[in-house]
Amino acid sequence: MGVCLALLLGACGTSGDAPEDAVGNSASPPPPVLQTTQYGKVQGIDDSANTGTYSWKGVPFAKPPVGALRWKAPVEPDPWSGTLATQKFGNACIQNGRIYGPGSNNTYDGTIAATLNTPVGSEDCLTLNVWRPAGNATNLPVIFFVYGGSNISGYSADPVYDGAALAKGANAVVVTTNYRLGVLGFLNVPQLKTGTDSATDSGNFALLDIVQALKFVKNNIGSFGGDPGNVTLMGQSAGAINTWALLTSPLATGLFHKAVPLSGGISLATDLPPGMIPLLNPASKYLTQGGALLDSLLIADGLATDTTSAQTYIATQTNEQIAAYLRSKSAGVILTTVLSDGLTGSGPIPDGFVIPVDPIAAIAAGNYNKVPVLAGNTADEGKLFAPYLTLLGGPPGIKISDAVRFDLMAGFNPDAVSTLTAGDILDPAYLPVTAPSTGYNAKTALLTSVFTSPSRDNALNTLITQQPNVWHYQFNWAQEPAPWQDVYGAAHVFDLPFLFGNFGPSLFSNVISSTANKPGRLALSSAMMASLAAFVRTGDPNNASLGTAWQPWPHQIIFDATLTQANISSQ
């Protein structure tokens, strides 16, 4: 009897009359977390008692990009029979370990510190996650989030990206997705190009993954209560760069209807004043990187002794043979070679097919996906990039290793008196932090002014010439316990816990969340989530919680708080 009932439930979906059992008695309807996609049924998690949400985790949106599918455009998954359990996050995409990465267990834990600079994750990683408010509401707006990590790290199972609080607070469906990273996500090697598939030949596999996930949303989100005609593409850092890229991509036309790029841009060096650091590199840079990677692999395998002999060897092989050789190498070997040979650095390749060769010029000409845009930046973006103060001619801003830094943050008690000082973390060259010109605050502000701010201004100033609905916020909150308010302040990425409503265990949680700052922190988070909720519904972030009018760019809202209350102003 139990088997028969299970079969009935598995076949009936979630609508229509309640099924009857074998003797005609009314049987229970299927659980609300049993839903149907175009590929098969999925069984999620009913967490209505705790978070007020339902969720589905690790839902495949493409075949694993392994073997012959490595460095190919994503392929739709095969349909599955029966019901797929979607109650656990899918694998992180393989990457070299960083403090922003997944460690050994695809979550935030102590293995992150132990796996730095070693391959973690899997190539079998193209899955997404869905959260929605409990109940039976339909046509809810959809927030589709793309994680950051310099396009070389990151994973959707990071606890800060848990979508439950945002889904409940914004009354929306929240989707987070994995996408390929590093040279497995962006690679420009001529021998991999066939001339028969412009998408694959672009080398923009990560962007194509995101497009494929957006197609899954378009075709299936209605089953989860979402409105496929109201999808907001939201990304932070590298995720924002990818969001800007898709804003200019004809392949993404119609797949999203609003955009929220946070702390990113899409400018080439030629779009910016001299001396600025671009967030987008030309295809030629990635051609050089791809060639150097191939040379290094051949030398390591004894097929060449140097770059010259590597080129000689390549000339004796067909493109198909070189492509097969590259696909024969383990992902771990590839990533180790990238790191050991200094070939890191990944991002959208302006190929002219997936994205324009100059995305800013395309926006200026009106050749882009014209949707309302809500952008955001933090006041102290550069403080998260303190190791790169070397770009300004000084030593790295942080003097301790990432492993030590991770352990310091993970073990920090925000409510206890701490003997830790900024001098324990920061290079003495930048102390005291408030010293004019030479202090940490001044130097990181200079880094911000040549790194993130120029691309922000370039993109928004260009966009506002084409459409009026462009908004921007600046996140100023810096109420962390000492010494972290000096080390990080309102650093790059620190706005995300406020937007997602997640202050639980994650990389920066222990340096953000004290009892003393909780009232103001939660009040600010509530206002930021309300603003995002208003935007995804109407294309306008104005709402009563702000207490002031939010005018389009070049005006902006300043999100800040005291220890006890939100402090929101307009500029």
The one catalytic residue in 150, 237, 513, 514 is 237
What residues are paired with 175 via a beta bridge?
130, 144
Look at the alpha carbons of 198, 201, 204, 209 in this order and tell me if their dihedral is positive or negative.
positive
Q: Return the percentage of the chain with pLDDT > 90, whole number.
A: 93
Asked if pLDDT for residue 289 goes beyond 60, the answer is yes
Q: Check residue 27 and give its pLDDT.
A: 56
In 3D, which of 351, 440, 333 has the Cα closest to residue 389? 440
| Max Cα-Cα span within the chain | 83
DSSP-based three-state secondary structure for 569? strand
Yes or no: say if 225 and 132 are a contact pair by the CB < 8 Å rule: yes
Asked if pLDDT for residue 13 goes beyond 60, the answer is no
- Residues present in the chain in total: 571
Q: What pTM did the predictor assign?
A: 0.94
> Residue 69 carries which DSSP code?
G
Q: Check residue 28 and give its pLDDT.
A: 65
Question: Per the structure block, which two tokens stand in for 458?
Answer: 């370039």
Q: What is the dihedral of CA 295, 298, 300, 301, to 10 degrees?
A: 180
> Residue 335 carries which DSSP code?
H
505-523 average pLDDT score: 94
Phi and psi angles of residue 491, each rounded to the nearest 5 degrees, phi first: -80, 160
Gap between the Cα atoms of 376 and 118, Å rounded: 32
Gap between the Cα atoms of 157 and 93, Å rounded: 11
CATH of domain 372-570: 3.40.50.1820
Could you write out the DSSP letters of every residue in 163-206? -HHHHHHHTSEEEEE----HHHHB---GGG--SS-HHHHTTBHH
> Residue 514 carries which DSSP code?
-
Cα separations in angstroms, 6 against 56, 110, 443: 20, 40, 64
Question: Exposed, middle or buried, 401 (CB in 10 Å: 0-12/13-18/19+)?
Answer: exposed
- The pLDDT tens digits of the residues spanning 390-424 come to 999 999 999 999 999 999 999 999 999 999 999 99
Cα separations in angstroms, 238 against 99, 337, 464: 15, 22, 22
Gap between the Cα atoms of 457 and 374, Å rounded: 13
- The pLDDT tens digits of the residues spanning 292-316 come to 999 999 999 999 999 999 999 999 9
- The pLDDT tens digits of the residues spanning 102-155 come to 999 999 999 999 999 999 999 999 999 999 999 999 999 999 999 999 999 999
Question: Per the structure block, which two tokens stand in for 407?
Answer: 């352990």
- Give me the half-sphere count of Cα atoms (radius 13 Å) on the Cβ side of residue 131: 28
Question: What is the domain partition of the chain in residue ranges?
Answer: 1-30, 285-331, 372-570
Q: Check residue 354 and give its pLDDT.
A: 98
Count of C-beta atoms within a 10 Å radius of residue 370:
13
237 among known catalytic residues? yes
Residue 380 — pLDDT band, cuts 50, 70, 90?
A: very high
Asked if pLDDT for residue 361 goes beyond 80, the answer is yes
25-29 average pLDDT score: 57
Asked if pLDDT for residue 49 goes beyond 90, the answer is yes
Count of C-beta atoms within a 10 Å radius of residue 383:
27
Residue 479 — pLDDT band, cuts 50, 70, 90?
A: very high
Give the chain's mean pLDDT: 94
Q: Check residue 8 and give its pLDDT.
A: 29
Question: Exposed, middle or buried, 56 (CB in 10 Å: 0-12/13-18/19+)?
Answer: buried
Say which residue the tokens 């201004």 belong to. Answer: 457
Gap between the Cα atoms of 19 and 29, Å rounded: 7
Q: Check residue 256 and give its pLDDT.
A: 98
Residue 30 — pLDDT band, cuts 50, 70, 90?
A: confident
Gap between the Cα atoms of 11 and 14, Å rounded: 9
Look at the alpha carbons of 311, 313, 318, 324 in this order and tell me if their dihedral is positive or negative.
negative
170-192 average pLDDT score: 98
Contact partners, residue 288, CB within 8 Å, separation at least 6: none
Segment (H or E) for 471:
strand 470-475
- The pLDDT tens digits of the residues spanning 314-352 come to 999 999 999 999 999 999 999 999 999 999 999 999 999
Return the amino acid letter for 9.
Answer: L
Question: Per the structure block, which two tokens stand in for 146?
Answer: 């793309």
482-502 average pLDDT score: 97
Asked if pLDDT for residue 22 goes beyond 50, the answer is no
Could you write out the DSSP letters of every residue in 358-381? SHHHHHHTT-S----EEEEEETBG
Q: Check residue 31 and give its pLDDT.
A: 83
Euclidean distance between the first and the last CA atom of the chain, given in angstroms as a whole number? 67
- The pLDDT tens digits of the residues spanning 452-475 come to 999 999 999 999 999 999 999 999
177-206 average pLDDT score: 97
Rg over CA atoms, the chain: 24
